[in-house]
Amino acid sequence: MSSLFRRKIVDLDARPEGERLARTLSWPHLVALGVGAIVGTGILTLIGVGAGLAGPGVILSFAIAGAICACAALCYAEMATMIPASGSVYTYSYVVLGEVIAWVIGWSLILEYSLVVSTVAVGWSGYASPLLAAAFGFPEALANGPGAGGIVNLPAVVIIAVVAGLLCLGTKESATLNAALVGIKIVALAVFVAVALPYFDGANLKPFMPYGFPKSVGADGAERGVMAAAAIIFFAFYGFDAISTAAEETKDPGRDLAIGIVGSMVACVAIYMLVAVTAVGALSYARFAGSAEPLALILREIGRPGVARFLAVSAVIALPTVLLAFLFGQSRIFFTMARDGLLPPSLATVSRRGTPVRITLATAAVVAVIAGLLPLGEIAALANAGTLAAFVAVAACVLVMRRRDPAGARAFRTPMAWAVAPFAIGGCLYLFWSLPSSTQLYFLLWNLLGLAFYFLYARPRAVAGRG
């Protein structure tokens, strides 16, 4: 039996025509894809969750999560330009670390992307359902899954179907619409800052870290602290990794991928820090901690209900950009794993427009079931575990390739790689330790299930050496 650590050889030119993705994206599309993925449910909802765990120290939580993600983004940019193939860190791991590691990372990415799409769809439904109920008398039982007291979250299922249909029409077309909707989100957050910042009161920042810095268990059994909050709101930052899944569909990957990944991450760290400082300074964290719509709540509390409604409507219009970016990314990872034989090869086909329609529809069906039946709280934190595993792997790939092939062509080089990559690895491991214990257990069980699937199905069918 061949080695568990056999490595993949990427040769895109050897691909049959029916397995090649169309190159239609330029760097503005990629920046918009990244910003569209990053700015979404996380900042609109998780700042309330983070404030409940860290108090005003949630500002520091955002800074720490952003710094770790920024280091990971630099590593992604180097690997994406070295290996401009679809599949993101799954492909990098296959090329650099070997098949079994790539399988674990791919399996973790399946977890990440599926749960992110489902979480955002449920979050979108939370904004859209009240508007539907007011306008058409939409029944509450069809706006919540069984775990939330309803039958099925129908709006979440429908929005996933709409976005999947858009992706099937064409990558460039969906990316262009995505760019327009991203502009709406940025305007909404800019309006929030402009309206709420004048209400900033330094007294709202005291005490700054009421629950301390590391994750700790309180008398009520809850796990709190600045790092506990960082481990959860980390969800709000990732999304730039979806850009790396578009490598085979980028016109000039050597230039455009680095601009897209680093550019979107820098922009979003600045946006998030400004929003976090504004939110915590405008209103005592205790008044919006745990709220499902913390920014809208803050606006209502300071007497600006009209602006709060504008923010809610903007979220309904623009949050599908997150769905588009992550559903795009997940379908490309599924596509690449199927092309390698680790998933059914029949899924690795593209339409005449150069889009993987079959795998996109299959992916949409899976995440629609999750979004339709499970509540938001059950699916958000677990997505972080899969992402942290992927970030550790991409940073490790950078270090291995710096040793194995120091003179290799790199259109983008991670600055101070021997400091940046270890910081990304250590930071991600610390964030993983700071996740709820139940999340860590579920992640372990998920990967045990994945390894069983690998040895029983995927490994005997893997196409070793294919690109």
Residue 16 has a pLDDT of 53
Residue 167 has a pLDDT of 76
Measured in whole angstroms, the distance separating CA 119 from the mean position of its chain's CA atoms is 10
Angle at 266 (CA atoms; ends 261, 272), nearest 5 degrees: 120
Element (H, E) at 406: none
Written as tens digits, the pLDDT of the chain (467 aa) is 457 777 777 655 555 555 556 677 777 778 777 777 777 666 777 788 888 888 899 899 988 988 898 899 889 888 988 888 777 889 999 999 999 999 999 988 887 777 778 877 877 787 788 778 877 888 878 877 776 677 888 888 888 888 888 777 766 666 677 677 778 888 888 999 999 999 999 899 888 898 888 888 776 777 888 888 888 877 777 777 777 777 777 887 777 888 888 888 888 888 888 998 999 999 998 888 877 678 888 999 998 999 988 888 887 777 787 777 778 777 778 888 888 888 887 776 766 666 677 777 877 887 788 777 765 555 666 777 888 899 999 999 999 999 999 888 887 889 999 999 999 999 999 888 888 888 888 889 989 999 999 999 888 877 654 44
3-state SS of the chain: helix, strand, coil percent to 5? 75, 0, 25
Residue 308: burial class (beta carbons within 10 Å; 0-12, 13-18, 19+): buried
Looking at the DSSP assignment, which residues form a beta bridge with residue 25? 250
What are the pLDDT digits (tens) for 294-311? Answer: 888 899 999 899 998 888
Report the distance separating Cα 360 and Cα 351, nearest Å. Answer: 11
Among candidates 29, 25, 326, which has minimal Cα distance to 179?
Answer: 29
Looking at the DSSP assignment, which residues form a beta bridge with residue 153? 143
Report the distance separating Cα 431 and Cα 215, nearest Å. Answer: 10
* Residue with the two structure tokens 């769809």: 121
What are the pLDDT digits (tens) for 425-442? Answer: 999 998 888 888 888 888
Distances (CA, A) of 76 to 172, 392, 414, 422: 22, 11, 9, 14
Report the distance separating Cα 28 and Cα 303, nearest Å. Answer: 38
* Residue with the two structure tokens 């009520």: 220
Report the distance separating Cα 294 and Cα 43, nearest Å. Answer: 9
Among candidates 110, 278, 265, which has minimal Cα distance to 199?
Answer: 278
Distances (CA, A) of 124 to 326, 349, 366: 14, 31, 18
Question: Domains in the chain, please, with CATH?
Answer: 25-461 (1.20.1740.10)
Report the distance separating Cα 224 and Cα 434, nearest Å. Answer: 9
Report the distance separating Cα 459 and Cα 454, nearest Å. Answer: 5
Q: Is 121 helix (H, G, I), strand (E, B) or coil?
A: helix
Taking the whole predicted model, whether its pTM rises above 0.85 is answered as: no
Query: What would the two tokens of residue 178 be?
Result: 């995505």
Q: How crowded is residue 356: how many other Cβ atoms within 10 Å of its Cβ?
A: 27
Q: Is 11 helix (H, G, I), strand (E, B) or coil?
A: coil
Residue 467 has a pLDDT of 43
Query: What would the two tokens of residue 418 be?
Result: 């021997």
DSSP string, 359-384: HHHHHHHHHHHHHHHS-HHHHHHHHH
Report the distance separating Cα 72 and Cα 300, nearest Å. Answer: 37
Maximal CA-CA distance, the chain: 69
Residue 465 has a pLDDT of 43
Distances (CA, A) of 100 to 90, 420, 458: 10, 26, 10
Measured in whole angstroms, the distance separating CA 350 from the mean position of its chain's CA atoms is 24
Q: Is 25 helix (H, G, I), strand (E, B) or coil?
A: strand
Contacts for 170 with CB less than 8 Å, ≥ 6 apart: 24, 353, 354, 355
Report the distance separating Cα 59 and Cα 54, nearest Å. Answer: 9
Count of alpha carbons within 13 angstroms of residue 405, beta-carbon side: 12
* Residue with the two structure tokens 């490595």: 7
Residue 1 has a pLDDT of 42
Contacts for 114 with CB less than 8 Å, ≥ 6 apart: 330, 363, 366, 367, 370
Report the distance separating Cα 333 and Cα 119, nearest Å. Answer: 19
Report the distance separating Cα 439 and Cα 460, nearest Å. Answer: 31
Angle at 207 (CA atoms; ends 203, 213), nearest 5 degrees: 140
Element (H, E) at 216: strand 216-217
Evaluated on CA atoms 426, 430, 431, 435, the torsion sign reads positive
Element (H, E) at 219: none
